[in-house]
Amino acid sequence: MAFFGLLAGILAASWPPLSVQASTTERVVTNRYSGLAIEGFDPVAYFTDAAASLGRPEFEAAESGVVWRFRNEGNRASFVSHPDIYGPQFGGYDPTDLVRGVTCAGNPRFWVVAGNRLYLFNREKSRDAFAADPARFLKEAVARWPELAANLAQ
């Protein structure tokens, strides 16, 4: 029994933390298995419905080298016309982590629309901190993003 406890401890210590597992190397956070941006959630729905809504396979568009899904043709058309507005800022990476100098994929279920832009977060605590003072986080995240983005794949 002690052997199994020791083995479990060694494996747990060598296993990467969750934030490392959630990290990605793409410019836009993409599910490596499905190829979908932001896990297939409709980026326009955050603005029009104030909700995180899954897109449908029949309403897809390719932008920035990834596939985006939408709830309807209108949302798809809006995104195609203005991906810079409707796409998540920082490629879907958590801006609170950018401030710390790391790129961690945002979870499309933890989001904020601030200043008419969409931001995704990898945990509720980060979303809540950002929502309390977006200007504070954005100033440093914007400053750090070019350097961090340069290390991501095109």
- The alpha carbon of 64 is separated from its chain's Cα centroid by a whole number of angstroms, namely 14
pTM reported for the whole predicted model: 0.81
Beta bridge partners of 14: none
Give a yes or no: residue 131 inside a domain. Answer: yes
Does position 115 have pLDDT exceeding 80, yes or no? yes
| Per-chain mean pLDDT for the chain | 86
- 1-60 pLDDT, tens digit per residue, is 544 444 444 434 433 333 333 344 578 999 989 999 999 999 999 999 999 999 999 999
Give a yes or no: residue 126 inside a domain. Answer: yes
CA–CA dist 110, 151 (Å, integer): 25
Domain, as residue range, for 64: 21-150
The per-residue pLDDT for 64 is 84
Q: What is the DSSP letter of 104?
A: -
Residue 13 burial (10 A CB sphere; 0-12, 13-18, 19+): exposed
**Helical spans, DSSP H, in the chain:** 2-14, 18-22, 45-48, 73-81, 83-86, 95-99, 124-132, 134-150
Give a yes or no: residue 58 inside a domain. Answer: yes
The residue among 103, 1, 104, 86 whose CA lies nearest residue 47 is 86
Share of the chain above pLDDT 70, in %: 82
Give a yes or no: residue 79 inside a domain. Answer: yes
Q: What is the mean pLDDT of residues 72-93?
A: 97
Give a yes or no: residue 32 inside a domain. Answer: yes
State how many domains the chain has.
Answer: 1
Give a yes or no: residue 91 inside a domain. Answer: yes
CA–CA dist 131, 147 (Å, integer): 24
Give a yes or no: residue 16 inside a domain. Answer: no
Give a yes or no: residue 12 inside a domain. Answer: no
